[in-house]
Structure 1
């Protein structure tokens, strides 16, 4: 068993290196995996352009023990190589999706089941070593076994899908309601797909990219709006299309202008759900109170992977549109720098690691995936 691997590590803004690193054997409650596919996230690109934002530099993260230089990649799938003492339910050769949240298990948030806002929260791939490598060691609680009907490329998209599922849950939206989704990047498009599965009557998307608008229509979004081509602004058109406004506006950009759009697009008594990350935002409190607008926030996810795995396995959620752009780990430095600097465009780029070949050929015995419905 080798104890070294090739990994893509962040050293500083603009300083990515593909280098050989030591990988320890798994300890108690840990699993060593061979990453298969790793999604490139906007968070990774922000770290490359002007980080550190989340990456610990001066001192190690409290749960992972990691700090820069650090292996990037928190959206990933893998194949189990070996398990440490005390690990049950996982064995070498198992194909897994990685839910990258570190959690302490003892703080008030963890004790209430809200481990995604753990007091010591972190992501493998941002606050500890992640998946852009030949090998990785992770806590066993991060790993979800995959049924044969879910391939490893699809499983790498489960992380942003979990962000989208948690947002739809937080919104309280239901069958017969209407929605506007502002920002049709990967998370916004995944929100649209999940809204349709929840029985939402009409979905409107707002997005400046022609390619993403076309993709949204192909995914079943009822109306798509180019915000630069509306006579009185996109919110006015949303309100006309939805007979007075949306039941829920999903803001998936993280900007004052799109927050204003979300507020103006929602009907009286409706909800604005904040998914995009932004700094200070301001709004007209008088107008919000008079219309009884609810403003809610959504961050990360908890207990989403089992439901998503089941939806993909049953053919109800198609993640293939997010898996079309793949690049090998050997080219990852150039690919990530191009993405970060805007020299490359696309919906979702996956970095292909050695586990992809192993996972395609190793037979595994699977247990049933439990259904989680809310």
Structure 2
């Protein structure tokens, strides 16, 4: 899609090259037909943004450009023909722009379009004061949800999609391998489903967070994860295993800890092929499930979880920094204690 569909304006934090974020500015223009101009409030920094900063995604990013896709803001102006939102509305963005014509789109799976444009990577993102995007990807946020909390909707939608793909049900046991931001959100969503949650994570602070919210926590370095899973499932294994750590060893562990006919959900991105115990998959008739991004119903579910207070939104936000200190937000996210770091774009 054309970059002009995602025009910006005002101050912006631009990714320029590996390791560099530079502050710049550009003029703003009224939105064209079908577009919405958003005054961006907060932008969350995620693992994908870290990959961009480290230069690992230069083949997809048209530097220099603002990146960022976890966001909240208020509608500044709308183009002709837009009646889904109006100026002053609180919104977020579902940052997927699909072609509508590939086999995936025609089959009803547009979120994994073969030619998917991920907004904020292939096109200009939200780390700018004004951001213009197609009305079709703008998601209204209900009254009563703060702008800070609204910036959590996108990562929570990822977790909602992962859990929905798993078909996790009340009373089942979910093993979450990896307690980073997405792993913690998967644990929270799983608990809301009514599942028993075991979370394996080597970092003590992240284990403590999960334990405060009802999970049984395991240090996979010091403890025997297999024995603990067996103890909590009467020897059967977990009904669902979410692999969120993204290393070869945890991919192997995922199938080892699943019960007969259990489901293993591959959440983490493995950029290179990793070993999987296919004999175990065969022997126990396991299901391997891929889970990528989200659909609109996942956004709606995430919004409701936040609106109803069913997830601890304030606790999930580890730090907030002004736009001029965006690079600091990236650095803070790399600490094991941080879950979600927000950039306050208007300050």
Determine whether 1:351 maps to 2:343. yes
Q: Secondary structure at the match of 2:43?
A: strand
Determine whether 1:164 maps to 2:159. yes
Q: Secondary structure at the match of 1:150?
A: coil
Contact 1:323 1:349 (8 Å CA) reproduced: yes
Tell me the CA shift for residue 22 of structure 1: 3.5
Distance in structure 1 (CA, Å) of the matches to 2:162 and 2:335: 30
Contact 2:180 2:206 (8 Å CA) reproduced: yes
TM superposition score normalised by structure 2:
0.92
Residue 54 of structure 2 aligns with which residue?
Answer: 49
Q: Secondary structure at the match of 2:144?
A: coil
Equivalent of residue 91 in structure 2, options 80, 91, 96: 96
Tell me the CA shift for residue 333 of structure 1: 2.7
Residue 14 of structure 2 aligns with which residue?
Answer: 9
Structure 1 167/83 Cα, relative in aligned 2: closer, same or farther at 3 Å? same
Equivalent of residue 140 in structure 1, options 112, 124, 135: 135
Distance in structure 2 (CA, Å) of the matches to 1:17 and 1:107: 37
After superposition, where does 1:160-239 map in structure 2 within 5 Å? 160-200=155-195, 202-221=196-215, 223-230=216-223, 233-239=224-230
Distance in structure 2 (CA, Å) of the matches to 1:54 and 1:273: 28
Give structure 1 stretches of 5+ with no counterpart: 57-66, 357-374
Determine whether 1:40 maps to 2:45. yes
Distance in structure 1 (CA, Å) of the matches to 2:127 and 2:15: 11
**Per-residue Cα deviation, 1:191-241 (whole angstroms, up to 9, x for no partner):** 1111111121x21000011111000011121x10011112xx423322222
**Per-residue Cα deviation, 1:76-95 (whole angstroms, up to 9, x for no partner):** 01111000111112111111
Structure 1 226/343 Cα, relative in aligned 2: closer, same or farther at 3 Å? closer
Determine whether 1:70 maps to 2:65. yes
Tell me the CA shift for residue 335 of structure 1: 3.2
Distance in structure 2 (CA, Å) of the matches to 1:137 and 1:119: 24
Tell me the CA shift for residue 343 of structure 1: 6.5
Equivalent of residue 105 in structure 1, options 100, 107, 117: 100
Distance in structure 2 (CA, Å) of the matches to 1:45 and 1:269: 36
Tell me the CA shift for residue 260 of structure 1: 1.3
Residue 4 of structure 2 aligns with which residue?
Answer: none
Contact 1:45 1:339 (8 Å CA) reproduced: no
Distance in structure 2 (CA, Å) of the matches to 1:283 and 1:144: 38
TM superposition score normalised by structure 1:
0.85
Tell me the CA shift for residue 345 of structure 1: 4.9
Distance in structure 1 (CA, Å) of the matches to 2:104 and 2:286: 27
Structure 1 274/339 Cα, relative in aligned 2: closer, same or farther at 3 Å? same
* Count of residue correspondences: 337
Distance in structure 2 (CA, Å) of the matches to 1:47 and 1:91: 33
Residue 311 of structure 1 aligns with which residue?
Answer: 305
| Aligned-residue RMSD, C-alpha | 1.8
Contact 1:72 1:130 (8 Å CA) reproduced: yes
Distance in structure 1 (CA, Å) of the matches to 2:47 and 2:59: 12
Tell me the CA shift for residue 307 of structure 1: 2.0
Residue 260 of structure 1 aligns with which residue?
Answer: 252
**Per-residue Cα deviation, 1:19-65 (whole angstroms, up to 9, x for no partner):** 11243431221111111111001111111113225633xxxxxxxxx
Residue 295 of structure 1 aligns with which residue?
Answer: 288
Tell me the CA shift for residue 317 of structure 1: 3.2
Tell me the CA shift for residue 294 of structure 1: 1.2
Contact 1:101 1:142 (8 Å CA) reproduced: yes
